[in-house]
Structure 1
């Protein structure tokens, strides 16, 4: 279907914005969305609600590490959500264990310079639930946790650059030197052994034991839990996309639907089990199970998935800056990707608009309606 067969952009925007059930913005790429033959989805925050899984695993790992290392109880406030949003906005923090590592290090350099690491030996933690307290108040406690989050958030917002874990760690090096806590930071990094693979890196292993749970790591990795005995936060995940939405999408997308996500395949299939039959799993790529060259925002995963689907014309739907950057990089490599941002956060939506998203929807289940309204 050609561009001339769709209704005018002015009429389309008026139609969408006057419908209270829609809150959509078509920004630039109407032709790419119109001509798409397939759709590829991000998972976390796009088709799966991970606020009770990955985000809880981050909170647990941060509170647990600070308690074990320094015998300090941490209570996280809304400033945790603010600094996490700032990290994600940079485009280099698609991996939540990267974010957790960065925040643990940031807290550690803001602790009083006289405070030293108390941990001598890690005993398996059985009472993990005590670290699952909900977000309370606006500011994290103790005060230096709040100061750490505020500082990092302000630095990232002021610089407005791409940051990944390596670049944030360089920022922390400079700050730790000024606070005279660089020696402690070096010790923390040595203990975390991060980044690294499950079973080799202490923190990567701890994070997955918290996220997947004891049964999960045994099934996925054939691994007996060492650091925590816990049911896992994975069980809290909620499927966001409905079967009806997927069926409607299939009518317009002859090359099918696939997934490109930073998650692993095992945990993704577990959460998506009810709708898995609708996805082309052979064309789906799970970058957590691949090498570094597949990680977002590199376009390799998206390019390979599109090739498996047999098309260069596709929609990619995601909720993070890494997703947008990956889509744009894939376009530079010859794909025609209509990037549809999924966001109900006004600041994030504004950033997507500024950086060149083709369309913005508040809910992934609006995607079929978006396509239907373009292709009338």
Structure 2
């Protein structure tokens, strides 16, 4: 498993590195945020589960098993096509719904979604429905790959071609109006309200919250970057430290606070807001090279090391290299739901180093 990598242990866990000399050559460094700079396991994973649960419970009156949902999240993150947690929540929900009997889906496909004011609560056998919906979810996840939502739509068509179930699922998707932004899509609205809470939701999306959730799961997040590591990185890279993240800027500022300016170069920090602003004919989010390319251009460097926690991150690095840029990759696995498989994936993708925590960067140079 570790062929080609030097292995050493720190208090955070096992570290794997290919070549110390190669890592020393980079002029700049850029970071992902979630799962890298921030422990977002509780916030994002819980938001995914609660979003899926609201839609599931609305129909049948009980929640799906949390361990199965977390397992599905881990599987999707290994594909390289699900950096957006809205997409993850949507995929899991459609997988679960596809296990519902057609008579339930028919009712659901013609139901006006009024923000869960009343549960439909159809009568079902709880154990039986959970079993069939989880089985259907696992069938759908077999089709998930780096194409993201496209692979899911293709999977649904292959599984339920020429069946009423497919037509019902298509109508349900239309009701959800997904993919789309909060205010337009019920699913992304629910997700963002649960994650941000009502005040930050209103500030971020310029819309009135529906559920009036005072405390979002974002409040459970914490920055894990230690002071001695910040000092070390600042000494090595100076002002050439940027961010390339799929997180909204306002949500990033709330958690990073004055680090964005005092540590990270604000002119070379890019977020999902920049992706939305520039995506016209082509989606520029991960694994598109857009975010890293902007960091490199604004830092005016020839080489950059990127630190991230997902398979999309290393795909983004590879896509950036194809444009002629010299970019290295360090994978952080400590907050993964499936540590063993993430390490394996990073190795198969030829990561320059694989570390348990961003704080182990000080041992790489």
TM-score (norm 2): 0.86
Aligned CA distance change for structure 1 residues 361 and 273 (closer, same or farther; 3 Å): same
- Name the residue aligned to 2:47: 57
1:347 and 1:121 mapped to 2: Cα distance? Answer: 38
Q: Please state how far the C-alpha of 1:205 moved relative to its aligned partner.
A: 2.0
Query: Is residue 17 from structure 1 mapped to residue 8 from structure 2 by the alignment?
Result: yes
Shift of 1:230: 4.5
Report the Cα distance in structure 1 between the residues aligned to 2:251 and 2:88, rounded to whole angstroms.
19
Please give the secondary structure, in 1, of the residue aligned with 2:267. Answer: coil
- How far did residue 325 of structure 1 move? 0.7
- For residues 209 and 232 of structure 1, what CA distance do their matches in structure 2 show? 7
Range that drifts further, 318-327 or 266-275: 266-275
Taking a change above 3 Å as real, the CA distance of residues 287 and 140 of structure 1, as seen in their structure-2 partners, is farther
Post-superposition Cα deviations, 1:309-351, rounded to whole Å, max 9, x if no partner, equal 1212111000111100111111121221110011141111111
Give the direction of change, closer, same or farther, for the CA distance of 1:335–1:202 in structure 2 (3 Å limit): same
- CA deviation after TM superposition for structure 1 residue 21, in Å: 6.1
Measure how far apart 1:176 and its partner are. Answer: 2.8
Q: Distance in 2 between matches of 1:289 and 1:307?
A: 14
1:176-325 superposed matches below 5 A: 176-177=160-161, 180-227=164-211, 229-273=213-257, 275-276=259-260, 277-291=262-276, 292=279, 293-325=283-315
Distance 2:181 2:251 in 1: 16
Change (3 A) 1:238 1:140: farther
Q: Equivalent residue for 1:136? A: none
Deviation track 1:268-321 (CA, whole Å, cap 9, x = no partner) reads: 110111533211111100024523443010111101111111212111000111
Q: Deviations over 1:15-71 (max 9, x none)?
A: x526666621113x6444111111100011111111121111111110101222x23
For the aligned residue pairs, the C-alpha RMSD in angstroms reads 2.6
Aligned to 2:356: 362
- Asked if the contact 1:22–1:366 (Cα under 8 Å) also holds between the matched residues in 2, the reply is no
Cα distance in structure 2, aligned partners of 1:356 and 1:154: 24
Structure-2 separation of matches of 1:140 and 1:114: 15
Can you give the 5+ residue segments of structure 1 that lack an aligned partner in the other structure?
Answer: 1-9, 127-138, 372-376
In the alignment, which of 138, 145, 157 is matched to residue 150 of structure 1? 138
Q: CA deviation at 1:180?
A: 4.1
* Displacement after TM superposition at 1:144 (Å): 2.1
Alpha-carbon distance change, 141 to 36 in structure 1, aligned in 2, over 3 angstroms: farther
Residues 351 and 207 (structure 1), Cα distance of their counterparts in 2 relative to 1, 3 Å cut: same
**Contact 1:37 1:255 (C-alpha < 8 Å) held by counterparts:** no
CA distance in 2, matches of 1:42, 1:125: 38
1:104 is matched with which residue? 93
| 1:77 paired to 2:71 | no
Which structure 2 segments of 5+ residues have no match? 119-126
TM-score (norm 1): 0.83
Aligned-residue offset at 1:115: 1.5
CA contact (8 A) 2:143 2:151 kept: no
Corresponding residue of 1:170 = 154
